[in-house]
Each structure stands twice: as structure tokens, then as C-alpha cells.
Amino acid sequence: MALPIDCWPGYDCNLAAHVDRDPGPGAADYTCGPLSRDGLVRTEFAAPPGTAILAPAPGSVIATRDGRPDGPNAAPARPGDCGNGVILDHGAGWQTRYCHLAPGSVAVPVGRRVARGTRLGRVGTSGAAARPMLGFELRHRGRAVDPFAPDDPVICDAPRGRTLWQDPPPYPRPGGAF
């Protein structure tokens, strides 16, 4: 997969959080580091408002939501609601979900086939996001998958295994740029 956001992580955007790989209470990212939250099932990219959100692989748009307001006080309609968004089906049981899009920015209708790099929307704060971000969720047959380390289990201090990224973004540096 290509990156789902039109930015350069570590320079004009940051990886803000990774999928929680700790099976119990507590949180750990794919490096066994602290860049996650308990139960987080998506990767979060913090980016300037309006940054383009892109399809990382070809697929079909199976759901969209638009018109929810931006802002940290714009409470989600129900638990798990992530504001404005798009869901793509990539076939063979793979789907991606894009959350916290800016109101009025969803650029693709349900039923549209998209190519890798197609603009899906723009970064916002809908769904009560505390800052402008993209919440990117990858699922295979309904199960959350960490695109940085899709194989289970994650073993701390072991050499890194495969990734699903075409060009994996670097692990965030302390005090990153954005």
C-alpha cells in the first residue's frame, strides 16, 4: 500500500498513534513502544487541516459519511463513530476506513472504483478529534490489521518482519515536526 495521506511523515505531518498490539490492558505499538492507546485499531496521522487523504490501493467505495462538523467538541453520534469518512473495499476480504475528514470534503461517491492515489477527502477534526488528523484503519475479513506489522504476535526486540507499506514511513522522532 501507498501512504493514505499526501504528506511526508516527520516533516509536514506525523504518525501520532499506531494500532495497539498489547493484547491485555495497557497499550504498545508494533515496536513495543508507547505510541498507541489501549484498544486503538487504527493508525493516526496528525497533519495540517485540508491535507489530502488518498487511496493507498485500488478499490471500490462502499460507504461514505459527510457533513458532520469539525471540532473537538463535536461529539460523535454514537460510540466508535469517527466523524466524516470513507470505506474502501479492496477485494479478497481487505477494507480500509478513513476517519475525521473535514466537513464537505468527501470527494468520492459510493460505488466508485478508485485507483491508488485518488483523493478521497481532506484532513479535519470531525468525530471529536482533538487535532486535525486522519484515522486510517485496515481490516482483513473484519479483523483489524496493523499495516506496520501484520503478522501476530509482535515480539519485542525481535528484528522487524514484513510490512504492508510500499515505502514504510519512519517511526516518529521525539518532538516531531508537526
Please report which confidence band the pLDDT of residue 100 belongs to, taking 50, 70 and 90 as the band edges.
very high
Among 41, 68, 52, which residue's Cα sits nearest to residue 136? 41
Q: How far apart are CA 2 and CA 158, in angstroms?
A: 25
Please report which confidence band the pLDDT of residue 77 belongs to, taking 50, 70 and 90 as the band edges.
low
The Cα angle at residue 111 between residues 78 and 83, in degrees rounded to 5:
20
Is the N-terminal amide bond of 49 cis, ω within 30° of 0?
A: no
Residue ranges of domains in the chain, CATH in brackets: 14-145 (2.70.70.10)
Q: How far apart are CA 79 and CA 60, in angstroms?
A: 26
Among 37, 32, 55, 51, which residue's Cα sits nearest to residue 138? 55
* pTM, two decimal places: 0.92
Instruction: Write the DSSP assignment of 108-164 as a string of letters.
Output: --TT-EE-TT-EEEEBB-TTT-SSSEEEEEEEETTEEE-TT--SSPP-TTSPP---S
Q: What is the pLDDT of residues 143-164, one digit of tens each?
A: 999 999 998 777 776 777 789 9
